[in-house]
């Protein structure tokens, strides 16, 4: 979750400041929707991830905190700069909290509102992330050794209904795999 916070140029003079966002120029996606939340009464919000949607959060008034969680690491951000925004990419669990009374959190989004893009249960989010990070490896000798001890563990042996086997028969099976 590096480089999630982006600083923007605030064009300023004695009349005040101006910050501008442009799709695919200083915002990394096409902006299809803008919404903002306010009057939160310090009640936390969010608690979901999106399957595809990318969002950009700017606290245009007051302050709040945002927790980002990619399923492996969590990071908390404080949003209190008018010329700073936080990217929330797809498949990032996010929670917003500690809103100041005057907090207005503006969100630029890469797509229209679509409830089917939401993942609202943390356990579902975690299992989807784990599925994405599953690594396929070639079956090697180290795995063979490990599987011999796993499959001879009485509980695993019972649950997987593995018949008795020897290291020699396992080796033959391993060699037969290479012929496929
Ligand atoms: P939700 O995204 O759950 O809010 P938060 O993440 O801030 O807790 O949205 C709250 C409600 O508003 C929900 O019923 C969906 C609706 N909604 C829209 O109709 N359009 C939108 O653009 C958004 C973001 C939400």
Quick one: pLDDT at residue 23?
Answer: 96
Comparing 30 with 175, which gets the higher pLDDT?
A: 30
pLDDT band at 147 (very low <50, low <70, confident <90, very high): confident
Query: Could you tell which of 45, 56, 64, 118 is best to mutate to test the pocket of ligand 1, judged by most ligand atoms within 8 Å of the CB?
Result: 45
Question: Average of pLDDT values for 35-41?
Answer: 97
Quick one: pLDDT at residue 180?
Answer: 64
Quick one: pLDDT at residue 143?
Answer: 82
Task: Cite the active site residues.
Answer: 48
Quick one: pLDDT at residue 140?
Answer: 81
Instruction: Kindly report, residue by residue over 92-115, the tens digit of the pLDDT.
Output: 999 999 999 999 999 999 999 999
CA dihedral 102, 62, 44, 126 (to 10 degrees): 160
Euclidean distance between CA atoms 69 and 71, whole angstroms: 6
Query: Could you tell which of 42, 50, 99, 113 is best to mutate to test the pocket of ligand 1, judged by most ligand atoms within 8 Å of the CB?
Result: 113
Neighbours of 28 (CB within 10 A): 13
Closest atom of ligand 1 to CA, residue 115: 15
pTM value is: 0.78
For atom 9 of ligand 1, which residue has the closest CA?
46
Question: Average of pLDDT values for 139-150?
Answer: 84
pLDDT over 90 at 49, yes or no: yes
Instruction: Kindly report, residue by residue over 73-91, the tens digit of the pLDDT.
Output: 999 999 999 999 999 999 9
Strand (E) or helix (H) holding 38: strand 33-38
Contact 143, 135 (CB under 8 A): no
Closest atom of ligand 1 to CA, residue 113: 22
Instruction: Tell me the CA–centroid distance for residue 115 and ligand 1, in Å.
Output: 8
CA dihedral 50, 123, 155, 159 (to 10 degrees): -60
Return the closest-CA partner of residue 9 out of 82, 65, 108, 62: 82
Identify the residues whose C-beta falls under 6 Å from ligand 1: 33, 35, 37, 45-46, 113
Cα 175 versus chain centre, distance: 40
Instruction: Tell me the CA–centroid distance for residue 28 and ligand 1, in Å.
Output: 22
Q: Give me the percent of the chain exceeding a pLDDT of 90.
A: 71
Instruction: Tell me the CA–centroid distance for residue 63 and ligand 1, in Å.
Output: 20
> What are the residues facing 57 on neighbouring strands?
86, 107
């Amino acid at each position: 979750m590096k480089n999630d916070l982006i600083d923007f140029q605030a064009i300023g003079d004695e009349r005040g400041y101006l910050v501008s966002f442009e799709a695919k120029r200083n915002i990394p996606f096409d902006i299809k929707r803008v919404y903002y939340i306010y009057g939160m009464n310090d009640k936390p919000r969010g608690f979901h991830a999106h399957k595809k949607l990318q969002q950009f959060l700017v606290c245009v008034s007051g302050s709040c905190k945002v927790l980002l969680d990619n399923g492996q690491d969590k990071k908390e951000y404080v949003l209190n700069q008018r010329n700073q925004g936080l990217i929330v990419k797809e498949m990032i669990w996010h929670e917003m909290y500690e809103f100041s009374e005057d907090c207005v959190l503006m969100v630029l989004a890469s797509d229209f509102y679509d409830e089917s893009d939401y993942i609202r249960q943390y356990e579902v989010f975690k299992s989807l992330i784990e599925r994405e990070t599953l690594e396929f490896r070639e079956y090697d000798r180290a795995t063979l050794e490990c599987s011999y001890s796993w499959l001879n563990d009485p509980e695993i042996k019972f649950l997987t209904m593995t018949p008795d086997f020897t290291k020699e028969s396992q080796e033959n099976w391993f060699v037969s795999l290479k012929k496929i």
